[in-house]
């Protein structure tokens, strides 16, 4: 069985992918130096997929203390594969969490 020999452009395209990802990683670290530390630590501990899946719950709330990138600014975010929440959805999620915490603090059910 013979395999087609890739053209020169194909090889160059494959070789340039890591360069593009590295450049995006450098931009993240340059634009968000404090946040990048937490993001890369989470990637090291859990992997890129976990970070993307849990971004709004685990990392994005750090935006209260420091400048955080949007999920689509992460170098490993692929809009064709990963889902992004709208600002309204994020706000609604955080409001629901606040209501839940308040109900826990007061020891009441939401219907009371």
Q: How many domains does the chain have?
A: 1
Indicate whether 23 belongs to any domain: yes
Q: Which domain holds residue 63?
A: 8-83
Indicate whether 97 belongs to any domain: no
Indicate whether 19 belongs to any domain: yes
Indicate whether 71 belongs to any domain: yes
Q: Quick one: pLDDT at residue 106?
A: 86
Q: What is the mean pLDDT of residues 39-45?
A: 93
Indicate whether 55 belongs to any domain: yes
Over residues 67-100, the pLDDT tens digits come to 999 999 998 888 888 888 888 998 898 899 889 8
| pTM given for the model | 0.64
Indicate whether 25 belongs to any domain: yes
Indicate whether 110 belongs to any domain: no
The DSSP line for 37-97 is HHHHHHHHHH-HHHHHHTIIIIIGGGGGTS----GGGSTT--TTTS----HHHHHHHHHHH
Q: Quick one: pLDDT at residue 13?
A: 44
Indicate whether 40 belongs to any domain: yes
């Amino acid at each position: 069985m013979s395999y087609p020999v890739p053209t020169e452009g194909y090889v160059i395209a494959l070789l340039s992918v890591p360069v593009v990802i590295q450049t995006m990683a450098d931009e993240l670290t340059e634009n968000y130096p404090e946040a990048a530390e937490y993001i890369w630590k989470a990637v090291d501990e859990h992997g890129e997929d976990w970070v993307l899946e849990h971004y709004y719950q685990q990392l994005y709330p750090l935006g209260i203390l420091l400048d955080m990138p949007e999920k689509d600014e992460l170098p490993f975010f692929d809009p064709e594969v990963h889902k992004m929440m709208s600002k309204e959805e994020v706000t609604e999620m955080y409001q629901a969490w606040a209501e839940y915490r308040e109900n826990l603090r007061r020891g009441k059910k939401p219907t009371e």
